[in-house]
Structures are given as structure tokens and as C-alpha cells.
Amino acid sequence: MATTAGRQGAATATVRPRVPLPARLADPVPVGLAGFGLSTFVLGMIQSGLVNKSALPVVLGLALAYGGLMQLLAGMWAFVRNNTFAAVALSSYGAFWISFWALNTFYMDKIPAKEQNAALGLYLIAWGVFSFYMWIISFRVNLGVMLVFITLWPAYVLLGIGTTSGVMGLVHLGGAFAIATAVLAWYVSFADTLHNTVGRQIVPLVPFGDKQVDEPPAGLEEFEPVSHGPGT
């Protein structure tokens, strides 16, 4: 009897609290920003005129796989992490890249040739409107993220107006803004990845408030790993 009770007591003592799913998920923001940055950089190089338009098919593969599906998944993980800003941004731009791939692969030739530029311009300007209000909200996140959006919404608007009007100078300027957006997105991705890997902030993101790009849902801090090193 005593032996049985002792075993039961030992088993009870080794039981650990179940770790909630959000606390088991890594920060999805860095990979989402990496996919966004890389896809935007390659497309920006073409739109700025630095690379010939014949290279566009290479963007479509990135748009579907990295900028699209991977970023969409990162957005879904951000929903679980209770990071509303990242969830809305990453899932939306993941959907943008998937729609960009689908538009160029399946649907553009269904639009009359003389109306294609106007349709594409409308598409880009509408994304500029979305990016503008995300820029306003980014003032509650940090300087790094705010700079991503302050270059992103002009990129969409310039590309949209330039495409609609046929003014290639505006398209090239929009491409230059897109390149700047990509570099800034990579910077935030690098800073956040480094932070989560070494466990301390080394590369500054300059938060505007007390909230970082990603933080665990309230009440889950006790489940967060103590170390963020490669071996954890």
C-alpha cells in the first residue's frame, strides 16, 4: 500500500502544466517580413527599371511561395499569438502576393488590352489605401515597422498612378520606393530574428510604446522559454 501511494505521489510530482499553443509558437513576424521583403525587392528591381521586364516570371514564383503562402501562414500564426497588427498585415500582404501571381498567370489576359493599365492601376492604388491606414496604426508599434509602411504606401500609389497614366517615370519611382520598403522589411526581420535567437535586443527597432512587434498573449509569460538560443 505504501509503495503504491509512493509511486502515485512521484508521478503527481513530475506532472508539468500543459503549455498553451500560443506559448509554443515562435514569433512569426520575422519570416513573414522576410518573405515580403524578398518578393518586394525583386519586383521593385524590375519596376524601377534596373532589371528588364522579361524577368517578371521569377517574381511570380516568389509571389506564390514565399511572399504569398509563407507570409499568409505567418499571418495565421500571428492570429494565434494574439498579435492583431502582425496578423492583419502579414495575412493581407500574403493574400496580395497570391493575388498578384493569380492575376498575372490567369486573369490579366481576360481584361481588354486597352483597359489593362487602368485595371492594374486601380488594383495597386486600392492596396495603397490599405497600406496607408496600416501606416497610421504602425505608430503604435515601433520606428522600424513605421518606416516599412511610410515607404510602402507611396510605392503602391506611385505604381498605380504611373501604370494608369502610362508615365514610366512614376512607375520607376514607385519601384525605387518598393526597394526601400524591402530593405527596411529585411532590417526589421533581421532585428527581430536576432532578438529571438540571442534573447536580447541588439539591433534597435525603437518601440513607440510598451509593445514590441510580437509579444505573447497576456497570461502566457510564465510559459515563455527562458532562453532563445539555437539549442532550445
d(CA 65, CA 98): 8
90-108 average pLDDT score: 97
- Collect contacts of 6-9 with beta carbons under 8 A, ≥24 apart: none
Residue range 40-52: mean pLDDT, rounded: 97
6 pLDDT exceeds 60? Answer: no
The mean per-residue pLDDT over the stretch 189-209 comes to 87
DSSP notation for the chain: -HHHHHHHHHHHHH--PPPPHHHHSPP-HHHHHHHHHHHHHHHHHHHTTSS-GGGHHHHHHHHHIIIIIIHHHHHHHHHHTT-HHHHHHHHHHHHHHHHHHHIIIIIGGGS-GGGHHHHHHHHHHHHHHHHHHHHHHGGGTBHHHHHHHHHHHHHHHHHHHHHHHT-HHHHHHHHHHHHHHHHHHHHHHHHHHHHHHHSS--S---BSSS--S--PPTT-GGGS-S--STT-
212 pLDDT more than 70: no
CA distance 40 to 59: 9
Residue 64 has pLDDT above 50, yes or no: yes
pLDDT at 144: 95
Per-residue pLDDT at 214: 54
Position 44 scores a pLDDT of 98
Amino acid at 96: F
Cell of 58: 521569377
25-42 pLDDT, tens per residue? 789 999 999 999 999 999
- As a whole number, mean pLDDT of residues 185-198 equals 94
Question: Positive or negative CA dihedral for 182, 184, 190, 196?
Answer: negative
pTM strictly above 0.85? no
pLDDT of 81 above 70: yes
What is the share, in percent, of the chain residues with pLDDT greater than 70? 79
- Say if residue 223's pLDDT is above 80: no
137-162 pLDDT tens trace: 999 999 999 999 999 999 999 999 99
